[in-house]
Chains A and B, each alone.
Chain A
């Protein structure tokens, strides 16, 4: 059973378009992290959200944590080719639990 489902699985868009990636669960998470992974490299942390309803912005990326802390979204405005990669959400279910549960991943390809 996959606790964190991401959608879409694959996304192929033109440079300049906007997109949203979703991360959904039936479980409550104390915090949720978003990572980006490029081919041949390890995931790199983009953001951590910890409060229900929290919105964080990182340049053209906007992250939102759902009010019930069961879901999250990542919105990219005016995508660039450098945004290409695998986007992973990961949740921790309690502050004392060290096991991060990773989502199924969204593979984004941005074409020039």
Chain B
């Protein structure tokens, strides 16, 4: 158990819909990262928040957005969903904001878009 929690575990929805994925980092960790993992693309970095502020952006689509709240939990919002958005979405947390910090991954949310 990494200490990072993600909800829901599974999500099935239709194209065009909007969903929100939730992540609670390990106690004391200030950074939260979101990743997308699909079979053909591997693990892709989407976005990072550090202590409530956006810190780094990766391959995140404009239809996707995220935020980190004062209690440090984070939400990833996916809108106008397409079939290709079906993937595993992971959240990870780390104590600070260094690239060499260990990132602790949550169990993931499996999103299926029908």
Out of A40, A42, A44, A98, name the residue touching B98 (CB < 8 Å). A98
**B42 & A50 in contact (Cβ 8 Å cutoff):** no
**B2 & A99 in contact (Cβ 8 Å cutoff):** no
Q: Decide if the interface of chain A is mainly helix, strand, loop or mixed.
A: loop
For residue B68, CB closer than 8 A to chain A, the reply is no
**How many positions in chain B have a CB within 8 Å of any CB in the partner chain?**
27
Q: Find the A residue at minimum CB distance from B31.
A: A98
A110→B4 CA distance, assembly (Å): 29
Chain A proximity mask over B11-51: 1 for CB below 8 Å, otherwise 0: 00000000000000000000101010000001111001010
**B97 & A98 in contact (Cβ 8 Å cutoff):** yes
For residue B102, CB closer than 8 A to chain A, the reply is yes
Out of A30, A99, A101, name the residue touching B100 (CB < 8 Å). A30
**B99 & A43 in contact (Cβ 8 Å cutoff):** no
B101 to A: closest C-beta gap in Å: 8
**A102 & B42 in contact (Cβ 8 Å cutoff):** yes
**How many positions in chain A have a CB within 8 Å of any CB in the partner chain?**
29
**B42 & A103 in contact (Cβ 8 Å cutoff):** yes
Chain A residues, CB < 8 A from B4: 42
Q: Find the B residue at minimum CB distance from A31.
A: B100
Q: Tell me the residues in window 52-102 of chain A with beta carbons closer than 8 Å to chain B beta carbons.
A: 88, 90, 92-102
A41→B2 CA distance, assembly (Å): 10
Out of B44, B50, B102, B107, name the residue touching A98 (CB < 8 Å). B50
Assuming the A-B contacts A30-B99, A92-B99, are A99 and B56 also in contact, with contact meaning beta carbons closer than 8 angstroms in the complex?
yes
For residue B66, CB closer than 8 A to chain A, the reply is no
A85 to B: closest C-beta gap in Å: 13
A102→B2 CA distance, assembly (Å): 19
